[in-house]
Structure 1
Amino acid sequence: MNVRTGLSVLLPIVLLAACHKDSSLPKPVTPGGTATSGTMNINLANPKAYSGNVSYEMIISEPGGKVLLDTIVSYAATVKAALSTSAGVVDLTLVDTVDGRHDLTVYKSINPSTWINALPSSYVTGFRSSLPNTTASSLFITHFPAVGAVGTDIFQTFFFNNGSVDSKTGANFSPSENTLDLGYQRYPGAYNYFSIPQLGLYKLYIPTRNKDTLDGAHMDTLLSVTYPRNIPFQMSYFGTTFLGITDTTNRLLDVNFMDAIYEHTLANVDLQYPRQPMQAYELYFNGATSTNDQLGFYSYGKSVPTRWTFPDPAQFTVLNNQIDNLSIKFNTSTANAICYSGWNTSDFKSSLVLYWPPDSTSLHPLSMLTGLKGKFFSGALVSGMKFANFTFQQVPNFSYAGYFNYVNDPAKIATHQLTSTTFYTRYF
């Protein structure tokens, strides 16, 4: 679940496929007009960005199978239309054929008239690879702790970020003088976060010049968190992101507490972070069970959660997982939950991701997709897909519809109204 896109320009309106005409396509909505009874207005952009004139297929259909819209549209375009239907919810199918693949995404029982984008954006802030307008700088560390001499790769012994970015440009360790000379790119106003995870030590400060000195003999002690295991799992270090937000109005000044390159772990410790309080913390925690299932949670708030009840695989039972017979039995409340499952062809060149509300416990993806008679895919392609995974996600304070209204609107994601969620993914 890791990466956020917004649209800042007015995009062209597209209703007809570029390569053929279809008289059944709905008429465009007059800007500023009002919808009549039995009309569902859509105005959907696609946050994916490809160079050149690359297109995808969008199909909107009623739950009973009646196709309301089938169009081939450029990723750079917005689909704006008035769909003639009395249905309160519809099914949305998107078909991506970039790089010779066939990737289908299907949303069951949704109302896209309340969406901004046809695909969801991530509410998890991912790793930054760079910051703008940086200056070449250096940090000279004296009394570098003895752990720094262990191993042939000095970068494995410490963790350094300028703000949210690993901007190191080099390091020179002198065993005889016990010093470390570190080069990096400095972003104005961003914190330097230097830590030695094995010793639980750190220093966090805002550099004010291009050449700084740090005394390794006078460092602070990291806080640590170890989550109780209501079910056994191993933390997935590189699947976890952990940010300290120093200024909620300027996310360029975030501090990243996780190394994107080296895995710094301690026995019986899941997280380490500085004692200085932040305006907010954003944590996406990932773990793997002994059967290679995936579990985790997301948290955004003024404190780091020190306890968490992880989702239990006993909450659901997959009764059938065929491409035309998917049925799930739930053993817990599904009031604030969404379900999604994945299928792949044997060569992994085609895939299907299906989202549905948990009250729909029996689904028939192959029949549904074959009935659409899509232009970019065939029933034969879908029939060869094998079940890959199933995810049960619980989102407090969000209904199924409310969740997609949120993740399909970048402006809503920026408000961080979604403050917690848990998920469990079973792989087959």
Structure 2
Amino acid sequence: MRLTLSVSCLIISIALFSCHKNNDPSPAPPTPVDSVRHFSTNYLASAYQIQTFGLKKYELVVSEPAGKVVLDTITTINTPLNADLVTRVAALDISVIAYDSSIRMYVIEAVKGVDPLLWTALPGSDSVPGKSNRPPTPPMQPTTIKYTHVPLSPYDVYYSVQQYTGLQTYYPGSADSSITVNYNYSSSFTYFLFPKARLYNFHRNNGPNDVVDLSHMDTARAVKFSLPANNTIDIFFAYGYPDTTDIGTLLKVTMPSNNPSLYNADLIYPGGKAFQKYYYDMVLSDTVHNAIVHYVNHWCDTVSATPFIPSVDYYTVTSAKSNNFSVQFSKQRPGYYTTQWNAPNSFST
């Protein structure tokens, strides 16, 4: 019996010690403190933006997600901005407000939950990789190019000089027929296309009075976009960069036709030849779901016939209020998305 009693007491003693409660309070988590983060950025406005939209100054607002304003300043475009952001939050909201004289409205472009230290160019800047600013419109200069040995069959003729384009129907009369193109821009290159024949000529200009022989032309590439059901193209344009070290050589390669069925293609262009890079932009309408999709590729080797166009089942808008917007992505979450809000005297993205 003594042996049994001593074992029982030992078990009870262990149980009592194991159930002992520690009432010491746990240490409180450290309170976040503000830190100073140096912010260096710029609003890169091209000559085109300045001439077209009348851009001069802009307002920059940097704020915390909860609403606390960290920086609010009005400054001049194309001028480096340096500021110290005093905040304890890493991901901030950036808003750029500028007046667009072409539509007489203030335009607000905002990005939310980003690291401002990575934004060396602010939202709304006009830039492409490797270059931060488009050159001004070239000076007016009367120029003539005479194309000789034009193909005999009647073709539509499309030509592009700088960002100026033209379309005409040509009916040659002899094997030595020619086409004369007159324009008023000084340009380094000219792009000349017969869309029905899918032939083109890309020429480096040799002065205000030039002659180009079309005896031997290159074959163009036709692109017909593969789009989701119910989607139609409302707006489409494409540009080519013949020299990526000088984006002033930008040429428009979009055919100025609202009826692509004429050529059984949405685009006829040189493909990987002639131009080093392309930029294209399209706006599509989903006629069934009353939705609009805007697709842009700023820097590509060729124009893809299968651009990624998300359908309406990729996302669900759970709240469409301007002060409480939320969206859920059911298939593939994008790295970046924008919304646009319209008001009588302003719109924001």
User: What band does the TM-score fall into relative to the shorter chain?
Assistant: 0.5 to 0.7
Q: Distance in 2 between matches of 1:192 and 1:53?
A: 30
Q: Determine if contact 1:171/1:183 at 8 Å carries over to the other structure.
A: no
- Deviation for aligned residue 1:130: 4.8
> 1:113 maps to which residue?
117
- Deviation for aligned residue 1:227: 2.5
Q: Distance in 2 between matches of 1:60 and 1:115?
A: 12
Is structure 2 residue 261 aligned with structure 1 residue 272?
A: no
Query: In 2 relative to 1, CA 338–197 (structure 1 residues): closer, same or farther, beyond 3 Å?
Result: same
Query: In 2 relative to 1, CA 109–312 (structure 1 residues): closer, same or farther, beyond 3 Å?
Result: same
Q: Distance in 1 between matches of 2:214 and 2:55?
A: 56
Is structure 2 residue 262 aligned with structure 1 residue 258?
A: no
> 2:237 maps to which residue?
240
Q: Structure 1, residues 52-109: CA drift from partner, whole Å, max 9, x if none?
A: 9965443322222222233344447554322222211222333335656443333221
1:141-180 equivalence runs, <5 A: 141-143=148-150, 145-148=152-155, 157-162=156-161, 164-166=162-164, 179-180=178-179
> 1:339 maps to which residue?
337
- Deviation for aligned residue 1:37: 7.1
The amino acid that maps onto 1:65 is G
The amino acid that maps onto 2:68 is K
Query: In 2 relative to 1, CA 298–325 (structure 1 residues): closer, same or farther, beyond 3 Å?
Result: same
The amino acid that maps onto 2:107 is D
User: 2:260 is paired with a residue of what secondary structure?
Assistant: coil
Q: Determine if contact 1:317/1:330 at 8 Å carries over to the other structure.
A: yes
Q: Distance in 1 between matches of 2:210 and 2:56?
A: 48
> 1:368 maps to which residue?
none
The amino acid that maps onto 1:192 is T
> 2:27 maps to which residue?
none
> 1:224 maps to which residue?
222
Query: In 2 relative to 1, CA 64–121 (structure 1 residues): closer, same or farther, beyond 3 Å?
Result: same
> 2:38 maps to which residue?
41
> 2:18 maps to which residue?
none
Aligned length: 300
Q: Determine if contact 1:202/1:220 at 8 Å carries over to the other structure.
A: yes
Q: Distance in 1 between matches of 2:228 and 2:169?
A: 44
Q: Distance in 2 between matches of 1:322 and 1:44?
A: 30
The amino acid that maps onto 1:58 is L
> 2:12 maps to which residue?
none
Structure with higher RCO (Cα < 8 A, 6+ apart): 1
> 1:394 maps to which residue?
none
Query: In 2 relative to 1, CA 94–226 (structure 1 residues): closer, same or farther, beyond 3 Å?
Result: closer
TM-score normalized by the length of structure 1: 0.57
1:3-22 equivalence runs, <5 A: none
User: 1:314 is paired with a residue of what secondary structure?
Assistant: helix
Q: Distance in 2 between matches of 1:53 and 1:306?
A: 36
Q: Distance in 2 between matches of 1:45 and 1:63?
A: 22
> 1:316 maps to which residue?
315
- Deviation for aligned residue 1:242: 3.2
1:15-414 equivalence runs, <5 A: 38-48=35-45, 55-75=57-77, 78-97=80-99, 101-123=105-127, 130-131=137-138, 136-143=143-150, 145-148=152-155, 157-162=156-161, 164-166=162-164, 179-184=178-183, 190-208=188-206, 210-215=209-214, 219-236=217-234, 239-243=236-240, 245-259=241-255, 263=258, 265-266=260-261, 268-274=264-270, 277-278=273-274, 280-289=276-285, 290=287, 291=290, 293-298=292-297, 300-334=299-333, 336-345=334-343, 347=344, 349-353=345-349
Q: Structure 1, residues 241-279: CA drift from partner, whole Å, max 9, x if none?
A: 231x443333344554224x5557345412212367246
Q: Distance in 2 between matches of 1:186 and 1:250?
A: 17
User: 2:90 is paired with a residue of what secondary structure?
Assistant: coil
Query: In 2 relative to 1, CA 57–181 (structure 1 residues): closer, same or farther, beyond 3 Å?
Result: closer
Q: CA RMSD in A?
A: 4.0
- Deviation for aligned residue 1:226: 1.7
In the alignment, structure 2 segments of 5+ residues that lack a partner are: 1-32
Q: Distance in 2 between matches of 1:340 and 1:127?
A: 24
Query: In 2 relative to 1, CA 174–129 (structure 1 residues): closer, same or farther, beyond 3 Å?
Result: farther
Q: Structure 1, residues 88-137: CA drift from partner, whole Å, max 9, x if none?
A: 12223333356564433332212223333333424569999954696723
Query: Which has a greater percent of strand?
Result: 2
- Deviation for aligned residue 1:337: 1.5
- Deviation for aligned residue 1:45: 3.0
Q: Structure 1, residues 201-258: CA drift from partner, whole Å, max 9, x if none?
A: 3233445463415457x5443221223223343334x532231x44333334455422
The amino acid that maps onto 1:352 is S
Q: Distance in 2 between matches of 1:265 and 1:53?
A: 36
TM-score normalized by the length of structure 2: 0.68
The amino acid that maps onto 1:293 is I
Q: Determine if contact 1:173/1:181 at 8 Å carries over to the other structure.
A: no
Q: Distance in 1 between matches of 2:107 and 2:264?
A: 40
Identity rate, percent = 18
Query: In 2 relative to 1, CA 40–285 (structure 1 residues): closer, same or farther, beyond 3 Å?
Result: same
Q: Distance in 2 between matches of 1:194 and 1:268?
A: 19
